[in-house]
Amino acid sequence: MAQKETVTPEVVRLLWVSFAISIGVFLFTYLFFVSSGIGQTFDAEAYLGHENVDRRVLSIDRHLLSLVSLTTMIVIALLILGLSILRRRIEVGFVCVGGFAVAVIGAELLKRYLPWEQLSSLDDGLPTNLAFDTYPSGHTTIATTACLMVVVLAAPKIRPWLGVILGAVSTTYATAVVIAGWHRPSDALGGIAWSGAITFLTILVAIRVSNASNIDQHSISLKDRIWNSSTPGAIVVALVILATISVAAYVTPAELADFDGEFVTMMALIIFGGIALSVWTGQLMRQVHWSRRDQQLD
């Protein structure tokens, strides 16, 4: 009987490490930015920076956020299943839909039950809706997880560059929740980290269910995984998004005089963190194919 092909332990190990790092970032963000006075003050100052952003950008972001609804999530789930059918591995599609559902429902439960206490006097001037049910951001979780699942199901050879493109899409939503005034920056960071953790766990389950195998048996160094052909493009895209937001916030000399370093810092963390997660997922999945057909096309 022919021996089953399996993903090399190196890829599985890196998936577990990535899951652990994502959980670590999620917990650190919560403990520092949500549960400490210093972090909460920094987060609140960063949130107040959204008031400088051009109203036209604010209007666009609010429109983008209004597109997310229960209907949208159902369409996303159907698209994931449709993509898995095209890839001829519908069982992987069902696992990815399940992962998407766990991420979204889990985010809502975390928002409801994670304790929050006002530790900064700056919160007195913030909207009352920011005092509860905010960490992690649900909109960020939906957008980030959906984009990551598409990267996971895409053809192996295009996953790294698709990660750049969809990373830009997901971070647009992650920054929009802050610019629109719906969430603190830490909520967006938490949504990105939570999405990463659930996605990596979903991939591990999908590998077990589908008996996915490696495209090749060559070991890839960590350096080559981090710095590859898609990395410069990811950095450029992240810088362009950050520059666009910065210009929208500080386009005039008067606005520049009110430059908010906390706002720009948190925007940079959200943008680079979201795109890095998406590109890393694509690069990590570059070795994994869901079927023989993937191996033949690569």
Tally of structural domains, the chain:
1
State how far Cα 60 lies from the chain centre.
20
Is 114 among the domain residues?
yes
Dist CA 113 CA 29 (whole Å): 16
Cβ partners under 8 Å of residue 161, min gap 6: 229, 230, 233, 282
Residue 192 burial (CB < 10 Å; 0-12/13-18/19+)? buried
Residue 249's pLDDT is 66
* Inside any domain, residue 155: yes
Give the whole-angstrom CA distance, residue 199 versus residue 193: 10
pLDDT, position 1: 38
Is residue 229 one of the residues assigned to a domain?
Answer: yes
In a domain, 162, yes or no: yes
Residue 85 lies in a domain: yes
User: DSSP class of residue 30?
Assistant: I
pLDDT at 3: 44
Spatial separation of the C-alpha atoms in residues 275 and 269, rounded to whole Å: 10
For residues 90-104, b (16+ Cβ closer than 10 Å) or e, as one string?
A: eebbbbbbbbbeebb
With respect to residue 2, please indicate whether it lies within any of the assigned structural domains: no
Burial class from Cβ neighbours inside 10 Å (0-12, 13-18, 19+) for residue 291 reads: middle
Q: Domain range holding 106? A: 9-297
3, part of any domain = no
Q: What pLDDT score was predicted for residue 66?
A: 92
Is residue 35, in this structure, part of any structural domain at all?
Answer: yes
Mean pLDDT by 10 residues, the chain (298 residues): 57 92 97 92 90 82 90 95 88 95 96 84 74 87 97 90 93 93 94 97 91 63 76 86 75 54 90 94 86 55
